[in-house]
Amino acid sequence: MKIAVLPGDGIGTEIVAEAVKVLNVLDLKFEMESALVGGAAYEAHGHPLPEATLKLAKESDAVLFGAVGDWKYDKLDRPLRPEQAILGLRKNLGLFANFRPAICYEQLVDASSLKPELISGLDILIIRELTGDIYFGQPRGRRTAVDGHFPGAEEAFDTMRYSRPEVERIARVAFEAARKRSKRVTSVDKANVLETFQFWKDIVTEIGKEYPDVELDHMYVDNAAMQLVKAPKKFDVVVTGNMFGDILSDEAAMLTGSIGMLPSASLNSSNQGLYEPSHGSAPDIAGKGVANPLATILSAAMMFRFSLNQAEAADRIESAVKDVLASGLRTGDICSEGTKRVGTREMGDAVVAAITKKTITG
Ligand code: IPM
Ligand code: MG
């Protein structure tokens, strides 16, 4: 097994270092190799996704990714911005299925801005299509308008598009995932306005017939955004396109009050995957040693489960994280009265200690 370790920018380096510490105490055989990505790679090699980094990612079974981006790169040409690294990895590795769980940890119920009764026990799985839609649709660019409200004016445009196989395969991923959970899928679209999403809705409905044991409903994206804050527990598996999934997954993550806790996985059809925390590079707290490494550590757990076929290692990591939370340790983002505030490194050390203790006592 080979793992590509791509820490990236901002807090990425700090949190990935803690996840690597955890990997190292598992007593498993795998190779790890690190490479630069994002702004860090741009500084060193003039490109956010250098050839060597892409090659390493391609030849690995899994990629453990930190975060990319910093405001200081906002003025660069788009192809050189840090975000292009993650988009390039998704595209080149064909990582079309993005799993973003939004789970409310019982001990962190008070960290949410919603009332505890609304989110206590919350466990949503957002499945976001990740290689299509307006993110990657061609053509796109700037030009002089030939029609529209202001012919002759400068304009910019992107293309929203989905092909049948793209929708079919992500729908199947969602129905399969639902079978392992509460057997409910909500497909989120904008079929009332957009041709692309009427097509999406029709195809998801068609594929749904292959899964008569799974209940399927459809919701417009604006209503879904509203229902997520009104009654989030009504959702189980949510499947949607790239753009809507980007927005709804941030909303769902924040509902739990603990975006610093949420892992994510992006898989291709051969189960090769990229694993990253749901949060970003947080340049405002980078280098201070206060970031929460748990989302990255939990992403490593997902990596063992989905790409490396080591469910037992995943269980060990997840149960160690639960033990650490139960012991009252908290990083600043999830800290509340009566808990002990710790930094990034102490949190990583505590997870390592919980794993080694379990290994010794069996
Ligand atoms: C995400 C991020 C990315 C996206 C950015 C960094 C390109 O917001 O993973 O959700 O828009 O997909
Ligand atoms: Mg996003």
For residue 92, what is the domain's CATH number? 3.40.718.10
Residue 77 annotated among the catalytic residues of the structure: no
d(CA 358, CA 25): 11
Position 139 scores a pLDDT of: 97
Segment 65-124, tens digit of pLDDT: 999 999 999 999 999 999 999 999 999 999 999 999 999 988 888 888 899 999 999 999
Looking at 262, 283, 300, which one is the last position of a domain?
A: 262
Does 246 qualify as catalytic in the annotation? yes
Query: Does one domain contain both 276 and 253?
Result: no
Q: Cβ distance 264 to 276 under 8 Å?
A: yes
User: CA–CA separation, 151 vs 121, rounded Å?
Assistant: 53
For the entire predicted model, the pTM comes to 0.95
Residues 89 and 103 in one domain: no
Please tell me whether residues 184 and 310 are part of one structural domain.
Answer: no
If asked whether residues 146 and 21 sit together in one domain, one would say no
Total domains present in the chain: 2
Is residue 11 domain-shared with residue 108, that is, in the same domain?
A: no
Task: Tell whether 253 and 320 lie within a shared domain.
Answer: no
Residues 31 and 117 occupy one common structural domain: no
Nearest bound ligand to the CA of residue 98:
1
Supply the range of the domain harboring residue 200.
Answer: 99-262
Domain boundary among 262, 290, 318: 262
Pocket lining: 85 vs ligand 1, CB cutoff 6 Å: no
87 pocket-lining for ligand 1 (C-beta < 6 Å): yes
Q: Are residues 173 and 49 in the same domain?
A: no
Q: Quick one: 143 and 229 in the same domain?
A: yes
250 is catalytic: yes
- At 361 the pLDDT is 65
Residues 109 and 150 in one domain: yes
- Which regions of the chain are under pLDDT 70? 359-362
Whether residues 150 and 240 fall in one domain:
yes
Catalytic residue among 123, 158, 202, 250: 250
Say what the pLDDT of residue 131 is. 98
- End of a domain among 236, 262, 288? 262
pLDDT at 362: 55
- Whether 224 and 131 share a structural domain: yes
Which residue bears the tokens 């990236």? Answer: 8
